[in-house]
Structure 1
Amino acid sequence: MTVNPRKTICVFCGSSFGKEASYSQAATELGNLLAAKDYGLVYGGGTTGLMGLIAKSVASKGGYVHGIIPDALVSKERTGSVDEINKKIQSDVDNHKGETPLDDSYGRTTIVSDMHTRKRMMGMEADGGFVAMPGGFGTLEEIMEVTTWSQLGIHQKPVVLFNVDGFYDDFIKFLSKAVEAGFISKNNSNIVAVASTPEEVIEKLDNYVVPDGRFNLTWKNH
C-alpha cells in the first residue's frame, strides 16, 4: 500500500451497486486510474456497493485507501456476518475510536462515533478534492455539504460530480434552475464541476479553478 500518496481524493458514492452495470464499471475504472496516478482514496469505509468497488480497485493496485465509518454503520456497510465483524472490531467500537484493518483488501479503516466526525475527517484528509459518484441521500448530502463549505470559504478544493450515464442530469438542471431563480449566483454555480468519464474526473480535479464570488470569511476551526 502506498504510504504517502501524491494527493488524496475523497469519493462519495452509494453503498449499493445501483441497477446499471455502468455504475460499477465506472467505480472500478476510477479506482484504477486514481492508483495509476498515485492518488490516494479516502471514502466512507464500506465494502459493499460502489464504495467497496472503488476501494478495492485502488487497494488492489497498491494505492492508498483510508475508509472512515461510524460504528453504527459497520454491520450495514461492511461485508461478512455481524458476528464476524463484531469479533474483529469490538474493542474499537467500545472506545469509539481507533483503526483496524477489518479487511486488508479495502485498505485501512478508522471507526468513529458519528457521521459528523466521519465527514470532518474525510474533508480534512482530502487535499486533492471531492468526487460524487452515483448514490442516494447520503451521497447527495455529502457532496452538497462540501460544496457549501467552498461557497462559505472554508476550503478551495475541487468539487466534481461524476455524471455516469447521465445519473446527475436532473440534478444539474436543478442547479441551473436555482441560478435562474436567484438562489445561487452564477459564479458559485461553478463550484461544482461535471465529468462524464473517469479520465474527465481526473482532468477536472487537476485543472480546477476556484471561482470568484465565494464568501471571503474567516474560519478558526474547519
Structure 2
Amino acid sequence: MKSICVFCASSLGNDPIYSETAFELGKFLAENQIALIYGGAQVGLMGKVAAGTLSQNGKAIGIIPEFLKTKEIAHASLTELITVKTMHERKALMHDKSDAFIALPGGFGTMEELFEILTWAQLSLHQKPIGILNVNGFYDPLIQLVETMISSGLLKQEYKGMLLISDSIEDLISQMNLYEVPFVTKWNELNIH
C-alpha cells in the first residue's frame, strides 16, 4: 500500500487516547512510506493524524471542500492541499488517491464516510481493504450492530470480512496487507428477476 485514507473527527473527543493514537497512526504511515490521504483539516483528530505524518517528514495530502476551509480550518503545512467544491467530490477523490481506508473514532461524518466506502466495496465498486482502528473499544457497539445485522438476516456473513478490525495499528496494517476480497454470492447468481 502506497497510500491510506484516514477517516476521523474534526474534534479531539474527551479521551486523550484518541489524539495520541491519531498522531501515532500518522507517524506509522510516514515511517512506512505510506502517504496519508485525509480531510485536510488542522483541527481535531484530523489535525493530529496529519501532525504525526508530518513529524516524520511523511507525505500528507488533504482534500477539503471550499465551504469547510474555515469551519474545519484547512491545514496550511501539508504536502498538498486539494480544494474541491462538494463533499461528493471530496470522497470520490479520497477513494481515487487511496489504496486502503482506516476509520479512527469520529462522529456522523466519519460514520458516513466509513459506511459509504464499505457499501462501495459491497457493490464491488472497489476491492481495497477497509479497517477500523478500535481505539479503547470505541467501535465495540458498531461491531455488535454488524453482528445484529447478520443475525437479523439483513447482512450476509461474508460481508463482515470486508471490515478489518483491530485495536493495534501494526496489526491492522498487517491485516490490510494480507486482505483478500471475501467471496459473496452475487445477486445475479440468485436468479432474482
TM-score above 0.5: yes
Corresponding residue of 2:79: 107
Corresponding residue of 1:21: 16
Corresponding residue of 1:149: 120
Of stretches 205-214 and 188-197 in structure 1, the one that deviates more from structure 2 is: 205-214
Superposed, 1:55-70 pairs within 5 Å as: 55-70=50-65
Q: 1:214 to 1:107 in 2, by over 3 A?
A: farther
Whether the 8 Å CA contact 1:24–1:53 is kept in 2: the answer is yes
Q: 1:27 and 1:216 mapped to 2: Cα distance?
A: 38
Please state how far the C-alpha of 1:60 moved relative to its aligned partner. Answer: 2.1
Superposed, 1:111-130 pairs within 5 Å as: 111-127=83-99, 129-130=100-101
Q: 1:150 and 1:18 mapped to 2: Cα distance?
A: 29
**C-alpha deviations, 1:181-221, integer Å up to 9, x for none?**
0111000111101010211221122111211106489xxxx
Gaps of 5+ in 1: 1-5, 80-101, 218-222
Q: 1:206 and 1:42 mapped to 2: Cα distance?
A: 17
Does residue 1:44 correspond to 2:47, yes or no? Answer: no
Does residue 1:171 correspond to 2:163, yes or no? Answer: no
Please list every run of at least 4 consecutive aligned residues from structure 1 whose deviation after the TM superposition is greater than 3 angstroms.
Answer: 214-217
Q: 1:103 and 1:215 mapped to 2: Cα distance?
A: 45
Whether the 8 Å CA contact 1:151–1:214 is kept in 2: the answer is no
Corresponding residue of 2:28: 33
Whether the 8 Å CA contact 1:153–1:216 is kept in 2: the answer is no
Secondary structure of residue in 2 paired with 1:58: helix
Name the aligned partner's letter for residue 88 of structure 2: H
Aligned residues: 188
Q: 1:210 and 1:63 mapped to 2: Cα distance?
A: 29
**C-alpha deviations, 1:163-188, integer Å up to 9, x for none?**
00000000100000000001110001
Q: How much is the aligned-residue C-alpha RMSD, in angstroms?
A: 1.5
Q: 1:112 to 1:144 in 2, by over 3 A?
A: same
Corresponding residue of 2:191: none
Secondary structure of residue in 1 paired with 2:89: helix
Secondary structure of residue in 1 paired with 2:36: strand
**C-alpha deviations, 1:6-57, integer Å up to 9, x for none?**
6100000000000001001100111111111100010011110000010121
Taking every aligned residue pair, what percent have the same amino acid on both sides?
39
